[in-house]
Amino acid sequence: MAYASGIFEKNFIEYASYVIRDRAIPELEDGLKPVQRRILHTLMELDDGKMHKVANVVGQCMRYHPHGDASINDALVNLANDDLFIDHQGNFGNALTGDGAAAGRYIECRLLPLAKKVLYSPETTEYVDSYDGRYKEPVVFHAKIPVVVIQGASGIAVGMKTDILPHNFIEVLEAQKAALKGEVTMLYPDFPTGGIIDVSGYEDGCGFVTVRARLDISDPKKVVITELPYGVTSEQMIASIEEADRKGKLHIAKVTDYTTDKANIEIALQRNTYNNDIVDALYAYTKCENKISVNPVVIVDGLPRIMPISEMVAYHARRLVEILTRELEIERDHLTDKLHARTLERIFIEERIYKRIETKKTAEDVVKAVKSGFKGFEAELIRPVDDDDVDRLLKIPIRRISLFDIEKNRKDIEDILADRDKCDYNLAHIVEYATDFLDGIEKDLDKERWGRHSEISSFQALDAKSIAVRNLELRYDESTGYMGTNIKTGEVLMKVSPYDKVFYMKKDGSYRVVNVSEKDFIGTEGLAYWCLGDKETVSQVVFTIIYKEKESKFYFLNRFTISSFTTNKLYSVLPKGNFKLVKLVTFPSAVITAKYKPGYGYRVMEETFRFSDFAVRKTPQTSGYKLITKALAGLTLRQTKEDGSGGQGALFDEEEKNGD
C-alpha cells in the first residue's frame, strides 16, 4: 500500500509540474506557452513571404506538439487574432459575436516581420529534440519585448491559474524605454473591444479592473451599446439583457443586434420609459459591467511565480540589453572573421601565394606552402592562418583570381571596419542602442491599430441591491403556510425587491430571516410581526412579549431587541422550558392591567404595569421578568403615547384583551 501511495505521489507531482510548465502557464522570457512557441517556430521554418493554409501549418506543427491538431488550430487562431506576430486571411472568427473561425483548410496565415525582429535569433536560441527525437525545437525564444504584457495570457493548471490582461503595445514600449533609464511606469490594460475601465483596484496587475460597455444615449427612447466589455460577446450581452427584462429589472421593448466588425446592440425602450431610467440598471443587472480579477503567474527560471506588471517590464528591459549585447558581440565576431577572410584573400592573390602550390605533390606540402607564403604579413592579419583558412583559400576559383578587383576588396574591408566600429560604439552605448531599437519598432506600428481602445475612467461600481426597485408583492397565505412573491392568494405583507431579506415572527414565538423567494413554506401558525430583514431595520424594533409557564401558570414579561441573527436559522423568543406565548407587541409604551379572580383572599384585585418599568434587553435569549403569580380573571393591554419627558398621556382607542 505504501508502495502504491509513493507511485501516486510521484506521478501526480510529475503530472502537475508538466501541466504548469508545459501546458497552461506562459514563460516570462517570450510570453508564450509551448503550443504557441511551436506554432511560431513552424511559421519561421515555412516563412517565404507567402500565405500558408492553416491546416498545413497545423500539420507541420504536429512534428513538435504531441497533443493533436485541435489544440494547435485553436491556439493559432487566437494568436492570429492578436495581430501581433501572425498575419491572417479568411474567416478567423469574431471576438465580438463569439463566432468561431472557419476550418483550417479555408483560412491562411503567415509570419509578420515583427515576429522575426523580436523573437528570431537562432545563434542565441537553445534548441532541444522534439518529443519523438526527429526534429529540433526552441526551448524558449529570447524576446526583446514583454510579449506576455502586450497580448496577455490565461490558463488553468493544477492548483493554480494565470490571468494577465492585454496592454497597449505603444504604452508598453514607452514603459520599457523608461525602465532602461531606471524609471517605473504604471501600465493599465487596454482591450481590443474598447469599453471604459476603472483601474483603481488594478494594483500593478495583481488586483482587478471593472469594465463597462460604452453606451450611446443620444436618443432618449433607446440605448445603443457601441463597445462591449472585455470577454463579453454580443450574444452573451443580449441574453443578460433579456434575462433582466424577464425578472422585471428593465423595461425594454426590443433588443436588436447589428454587430459586425464593431459592436452595435440597439435596445428599444417601452412607452413612458427613457434611457436615463435604465442606464444604472443596465450596469447593475446585465453584462454591461464586468469585474475582472487578475493573477499574473508566469514561469521564471523554471518555476511559477506571481510577478507584477512593472516588474515584468523591468525584467525585459534588462533582458533587452543582454540580448542586444550578445547579438552585437556575435555580429562583431562575424565581421572580424569576414575581415580576416578578405585580408587573407587579398594577400593570397596580390602576392601570388597560389603559385607556390603548383609544384607540390601532397596535401600536407600544399598547406605548408600556403602558410609559409603569409610569413612577413603577420602585422596585417587579424589572427594566425589556420587549416580552415587554407582550405577556404584553396577553394577560390581561377576565374575569381583572374578577375580579382583590388580596389573593391579594399572598399569591402573599409565597410567591414566601419561596421565593426559601429558595433563597438553600440556596445559602448548599449542603453541608447536598446532605446533606438524600441523606437524602430514603435515607428513601424500602425497607430490606428495600436492606439488605445479602452478609456480609463473612474466610476462607482453599482450595487444591484442599492438600485433595486421594491415592486414585488410579498404575500403570506396562512391556510397553506406559503410566503413569497409568486403567490396569488393570502395577505400582501409588503413590497420587496429580489435582493431583500424578510424578518418574520410567528405567533408561537419563533422567528427567522429569509431571502425573498418566489415561494417558501414557513408554516400555518400565522405571523405576529414582519419587516425587512436587514440588521439595521430589525435592530431598531423593540419587542415586548408576555408569556406564561404552563405548569405554574405564572406570567412573565420580556422586552428586547434583536441585533444579530443568521439567515435561514430558526430562533425563538421563549426561553427553554414549557412556556406559551400570550402576547407579542412592538408598542413603544403601554399599560398592562391585570384583574384577579375573587375568592382567593387577595387584598388587591387589580394591578397595572407600565412598559417603562421594565428594561429593554439586547437579546431575547434571556429569562423574562416575573409579572403575575396570581390567578387571573383578565389581562388588558393598552397602548399609550409617550410625551417628550417620558410620561404617559391619553390612552389610544385600540385595546388588546386576553381573558385566561
Order of strands across the sheet with 86-89? 52-53, 108-111, 86-89
Q: Which of 15, 18, 106, 258 is catalytic?
A: 106
How far from chain centre, in Å, is Cα 127? 33
The C-alpha R_g of the chain, in whole angstroms, comes to 42
Q: 597 and 632 in contact (C-beta within 8 Å)?
A: yes
Using CA atoms, how far apart are residues 454 and 130, in angstroms rounded to an integer? Answer: 41
Q: How do beta strands 52-53 and 86-89 pair?
A: unpaired
Q: Which residues contact 378 (CB under 8 A, 6 or more apart)?
A: 384
Cβ-contact 195, 215 below 8 angstroms: no
Q: Please count the other Cβ atoms lying within 10 Å of the Cβ belonging to residue 575.
A: 16
Helices 169-180 and 430-444 sit at what angle, rounded to 10 degrees?
Answer: 170
Q: How far is CA 522 from CA 2, 484, 503, in A?
A: 53, 10, 12
Closest CA to 436 of 449, 422, 446, 447: 422
Q: Is the dihedral of CA 259, 97, 85, 51 positive or negative?
A: negative
C-alpha cell at 40: 511560431
What distance in Å separates the CA atoms of residue 140 and residue 126, rounded to the nearest whole number?
7
- DSSP string covering 442-488: HHHS-HHHHS--SEEE--PPPPHHHH----EEEEEETTTTEEESS--
Structural contact between residues 569 and 628, judged by C-beta atoms closer than 8 angstroms:
no
Cα–Cα distances in Å, from 194 out to 101, 227, 229? 22, 6, 7
CA distance 284 to 467: 8
DSSP string, 358-374: TT--SHHHHHHHHHHHT
Distance in angstroms (rounded) separating the CA atoms of residues 598 and 646: 35
Type of residue found at 136? K
The upper half-sphere exposure of residue 361, i.e. CA atoms within 13 Å in the direction of its Cβ, equals 0
Dihedral Cα 524, 530, 533, 538, nearest 10 deg: -130
Q: Please give the angle made by the CA atoms of 624, 628 and 632, to the nearest 5 degrees.
A: 135
Nearest to 559, CA basis, from 590, 527, 595, 514:
590
CA pair distance 24, 12, nearest whole angstrom: 16
3-state per-residue secondary structure call for 182-216? CCCCCCCECCCCCCEEECCCCCCCCCEEEEECEEE
- Taking alpha carbons only, the member of 565, 532, 538, 539 closest to residue 465 is 532
In angstroms, rounded to a whole number, what is the distance separating the alpha carbons of residues 317 and 175? Answer: 9
Of 190, 114, 120, give the one whose Cα is nearest residue 438. 114
How far apart CA 523 and CA 510 sit, in angstroms, is 11
For this structure, is 499 an active site residue? no
At 336, list the grid cell. 572580424
Question: What's the CA angle centered on 114, arms 111 and 116, to 5 degrees?
Answer: 70
> What whole-number distance in Å separates Cα of residue 115 and Cα of residue 49?
13
Phi first, then psi, for residue 295 (nearest 5°) are -150, 90
- Catalytic site residues? 106
